Chain A
Amino acid sequence: MTTPGDHDLHTLAGAYVLDAVTGAERAAFTAHLAECAECRDEIRELREATARLGTSAYLWPRPELRGATMRAAARISQLAPVTADHPVAGQAPAPPAAGPGLTRAARGRALRLAGSSAGLRGRLAVVAAAAVLAGTAGFAAVMHDTMQTLHHSQRQSQLIASVLNAPDAVMRTARVGGGMARVVMSHRERRVVFMASRLPPLPAAERYELWLMGPIGDRPAGMLRTRHGGMAGPAVISGLAAGDMIALTVEPAAGSRQPTSAPLVLIGS
């Protein structure tokens, strides 16, 4: 495919708003939007008009769906806000592999972080990947168990399935204290599924928080709720970028915008 010029891109505005474009075109147009204020205005207006096509089709949901949705929401953790430096929207799809240099850089930052909070230094455990199981029977079993036992919600399940079924999915496991963290990541889906067991219990004022840490910065990836036995997840993390590592830190219960403690574990691709 040739790179479309600005004019070609501009005519894509209608198709873009109608979601009538391919993934590659969406990415190209989204990137174009970042540079074109006029286009952003046009998109905003066309989106409002397009939304009316949808809202005018109003249908009454069955009343029982309301309670079911509320109960499901109560079990889903919310995404932390995106900081202005690293907006989630508009990033081009990430290439599949992380360069080793980037990985080292991320580790270096984690070590600096550890050095800067002396009291937590002992907690730091940077763990290299333990296993790559993509495409093996073990992977299929993990996937099956995951799908069977961890139905947070249908949406969650579908996101998990999209990561587990991605052709480039890789699984990593790492020790956290006496427990175990496991991630499945797909750069194609730009998502990570994080699960953990036997996580050390935390005082009431603290909670676990997940992060994406990589060349484009540290981004909060949601608070991690632990259940009985230190079980946590599966949590779906979106916005995975090239060179990202997945980190777990202990934060004040309200969560943090930037990590305030050294990662207990850093898992990279």
Chain B
Amino acid sequence: MTDGEHDGPARRRRAEGAAWAAGRPRRLEDLLPAVARGDERAYEAVYDLASGWVLGVARKVVRDPAQAEEVMQEVLLEVWRSASRFDPALGTGTAWIMTLAHRRAIDRVRSERSQASRELRSAAAVIDYDDVAEAVEASLDRERVQRCLMSLTEVQRECVRLAYYGGYTYAEVAELLGVPAGTVKTRMRDGLIRLRDCLGVT
């Protein structure tokens, strides 16, 4: 692959094309069991499908571009290492990888926060949604997720955003928003239920 020669979508089509051309399945649910058997081509296809998602969430959570790249690589290596632990009965390959990615990114910010004994960052800093948008794919998916997030109540939305992108525990979110912890727990759950219904995920 040549550097910087094409814009994002073209590069993605090429990556997807490469996965097809290899005569390999393209669904993560089919690729991951092959990865578990040590199939390096399948792993390349998984990388091509998932690395951008993982980098995106890592960047949202850890903010620092270099650290986000490290998290992305760690997560993709974890996918290689533990592909045998993927269980399709528990969810899609995307959800499995994104769960690994989010936990890894969260671990990184939490240890950073505790090491530095920093004050909690202000809520405003975290929910500023667009400062990593420079290279974000302008995708329908993104618009749809944004639209669905906007369909939540404000408290639900802030609870979900602070937890998912900010890496805060519900107790910390309660502190930041000045509402009881029990309320935050409830809003996180009903907010995600509404998001699920809006996105049509089953």
Contact = CB atoms under 8 A, between A and B. Distances in A.
Interface stretch (B19-27, B36-44, B116-124): B36-44
A46 B193 contact: yes
Interface residues of A, number: 55
A21 interface: yes
A20 B201 contact: no
A47 B90 CA distance: 10
Given A55-B56, A72-B77, A20 B196 contact: no
Contact of B135 (A19, A59, A73, A76): A59
Interface stretch (A91-99, A139-147, A153-161): A153-161
A57 B56 contact: yes
Interface of A: 11-15, 17-22, 40, 44-66, 68-70, 72-74, 76-82, 88-89, 153-156, 158
Given A11-B185, A47-B95, A56-B139, A19 B80 contact: no
Contacts of B171: 22
Contacts of B201: 45, 48-49, 52
Main secondary structure of the interface of B (DSSP, over half): helix
B139 A14 contact: no
8 contacts: A15-B169, A49-B199, A57-B59, A59-B137, A65-B72, A79-B85, A81-B36, A153-B73
Contact of A56 (B59, B90, B145): B145
A19 B102 contact: yes
The DSSP consensus for interface residues of chain A is: helix
Nearest to A156: B77
A29 to B, nearest CB: 11
Given A53-B164, A56-B142, A14 B103 contact: no
Nearest to B76: A69
Given A62-B69, A66-B51, A44 B91 contact: yes
A78 B83 contact: yes
Contact of A55 (B4, B141, B186): B141
A44 B80 CA distance: 22
B173 interface: yes
A20 B168 contact: yes
A178 B194 CA distance: 63
A55 B163 CA distance: 16
Interface in B66-98: 68-70, 72-74, 76-78, 80-85, 90-92, 94-95, 98
Contacts of B11: 60
A72 B73 contact: yes
Given A59-B135, A65-B73, A51 B95 contact: yes
Contacts of B165: 53
B192 A55 contact: no
Contact of A46 (B90, B102, B192): B192
Contacts of A59: 52, 55-56, 59, 68, 132, 135-137
A54 B101 contact: yes
Contacts of A58: 52-53, 55-56, 136-137, 139, 141-142
A65 B135 contact: no
B146 interface: yes
Given A73-B80, A79-B84, A20 B173 contact: yes
Contacts of A81: 36, 84-85
Contacts of A54: 53-54, 56-57, 60, 98, 101-102, 164
Nearest to B160: A18
Q: A45, A68, A69 — which one has the most chain B CB atoms within 10 A of its CB?
A: A69
Contacts of A74: 40
A57 B60 contact: yes
Interface string B161-176: 0011101111101000
B69 A155 contact: no
B29 interface: no
A233 B38 CA distance: 19
A81 B38 CA distance: 12
Interface string B147-170: 001000000000110011101111
B76 A47 contact: no
